[in-house]
Amino acid sequence: GVGAPLFIQLLAFTVTAAATLLVVRPLARRNLSGTPLVRDGSDALVGRTGVVTQEVTALRGLVRLSGEEWSARAYDASAVIPPGVTVDVIEIDGATAIVHAWEA
C-alpha cells in the first residue's frame, strides 16, 4: 500500500471519485447538449448554392441542389426567379428550400 490502511485508501478513493463526478458531470452535460458541430441531412444544404430549374415564387418552384431536385420558395415574397438563375439556400422548411437569388 501507500502507507495508509486499506480502509482509509478506499475511503479516499470513494470521496475523490464522488467529488469528481459531481464536478465533471454537469460540465459534460452542458457541453454535450449543445448544437452539433457538423450539420447533416437537409440542414447541410443551408448556405449552399443551387440553380433554378422551374420558376421560383413565394409559393412554389424547383431548384437543383447537390445533384437533386428540390421544391423551393423564394425568400423574398415579391421575387420571381426564372430558370437558370443561381440561388443561395437560406433555410430548409420541411422538404422545401427557401432560396434567395444572386441575380433576378
| pLDDT one digit per residue (tens) for the chain, 104 residues | 568 899 999 999 999 999 999 999 888 887 776 665 555 567 788 989 999 999 999 999 999 998 999 999 999 999 999 999 999 999 999 889 999 997 54
Do 55 and 84 share a domain, yes or no? yes
Say whether both 51 and 85 belong to one domain. Answer: yes
**Helix/strand/coil for 39:** coil
Q: Are 89 and 47 in contact (CB under 8 A)?
A: yes
Predicted TM-score (pTM) of the model is 0.60
One domain, residues 46 and 26: no
Q: What's the pLDDT at 104?
A: 47
The alpha carbon of 99 is separated from its chain's Cα centroid by a whole number of angstroms, namely 18
Q: What is the pLDDT of residue 35?
A: 60
pLDDT at residue 43, as a whole number = 74
- Which range marks the domain in which residue 23 is found? 1-34
Are residues 48 and 64 both part of a single domain?
yes
Q: How many domains does the chain have?
A: 2
